[in-house]
Amino acid sequence: MTTRWRLTLLVLPWLFPPALPTASADVVEWRLAHYLPERHFFASGWLPEWAASLETASEGRLRIVIHPNNELLRLNDIAPGVREGLAELGFGPAPASAALSVLGLPFMADSAEHGTRIAMRLLAEGLLDDDLSGLHVAMLQTNAPSLLHTRSTPVRRPADLDGLRLRGATPGIRALLLALGATPVEGFLAPQVYGALRDGHVDGTVFPYEAMGVFRLAEQTDYHTEVFLFVSALGLFINADALANLPEDLRAVVLAHSGKAQALTAARAWDAEEARGRALALAAGNTILPVNQQTLVDWRAAAESHTRTRLAAIADDGVDAQALRVRIQTLADETRDTP
């Protein structure tokens, strides 16, 4: 080989270095939209931990960028936005569903874990399929039940609500409060309830205990009536096309991070926060008012007119709402004491 060619071979690698694999070439980036403020326990705990576990299991080939606090999609747009591909992932309210509407009726679930077991059974039985088209459900859960918190009046039975102005976040909650005998009040966002209680605009509110920590409500309430009124269904949803387009091994990782086990760990996180909120109320010197089985009969009876109205509205869409109620009550009994 001539000296000239030897020099050429030495120079070429410097002129044309070998192609190196780029770190981003095989990385799939997904956006996770949710409505919670970053300081919320679920936004700072379970959600980022789940995302980090997914990234680790994918060996860095799946990257999750979290958009909290309605930054990418607002509360009621999360599931529809994920379906449309505006985000690949979303945590928020479950899409409207007859079965989940019945689950949200008064006195269906006793805890986040209990409600989640019911919701996951409804999912497994195919009762939500039509409402979840275009979505893969990584997990479906409920929050902990909402209860009554009052400023200066102890509420032990429905009759004690007479004349009390209670903040209700939605028309459905306000209708329930009216049926129970309270005067429902609208117009205050959740962060404004502290001031509304302090300034005497309302006498009480309806929240899970979790709100004691998030909104510091233990400072503005004196009594907490443990009548567990209703739960709301939440879910972690994945765009079905985004999932289908993943390489098979990455799709398997996502599926391994989906299902009942994931839902139950999420629900237990909500119940743990519920216990912390209750402890905050006690630490503030507030009074917890338990509801015994006999008094619960009175609460159920007071809420029944509201329940029947809601069932009639669900039936207007051609659904056998009463049959759904019976099925969900059966599931509630079957899952109440499940370990």
- pLDDT above 90 covers a percentage of the chain that reads 88
- pLDDT above 70 covers a percentage of the chain that reads 92
User: 96: left (phi > 0), else alpha (psi -120 to 50), else beta?
Assistant: beta
Query: How many Å apart are CA 62 and CA 194, to the nearest integer?
Result: 41
Q: All domains of the chain, ordered by start, with CATH?
A: 28-95+115-143+233-273 (3.40.190.170), 146-231+277-335 (3.40.190.170)
Q: Is 24 exposed, middle or buried (0-12, 13-18, 19+ CB in 10 A)?
A: exposed
Residue pLDDT, tens place only, 272-283: 999 999 999 999
- pLDDT for 4 beyond 60: no
* CA 127 vs CA 101, 131, 312: distances in Å: 12, 9, 19
- pLDDT for 12 beyond 50: no
Confidence (pLDDT) at 14: 35
Q: What is the pLDDT confidence band of residue 129, given thresholds at 50, 70 and 90?
A: confident
The full DSSP string for 315-339 is HTTT--HHHHHHHHHHHHHHHTT--
Say if strands 233-239 and 223-230 run parallel, antiparallel, or are unpaired: unpaired
Query: How many Å apart are CA 120 and CA 140, to the nearest integer?
Result: 6
Query: How many Å apart are CA 105 and CA 176, to the nearest integer?
Result: 9
Query: How many Å apart are CA 110 and CA 330, to the nearest integer?
Result: 14
Confidence (pLDDT) at 210: 94
- pLDDT for 7 beyond 80: no
- pLDDT for 24 beyond 70: no
Query: How many Å apart are CA 296 and CA 284, to the nearest integer?
Result: 26
Residue pLDDT, tens place only, 154-195: 999 999 999 999 999 999 999 999 999 999 999 999 999 999
- Check if the beta carbon of residue 206 is closer than 8 Å to that of residue 146: yes
Confidence (pLDDT) at 338: 72
pTM: predicted TM-score of the whole model, two decimal places? 0.89
Residue pLDDT, tens place only, 232-261: 999 999 999 999 999 999 999 999 999 999
The full DSSP string for 177-211 is HHHHT-EEE----GGGHHHHHHTTS-SEEEE-THH
Confidence (pLDDT) at 339: 65
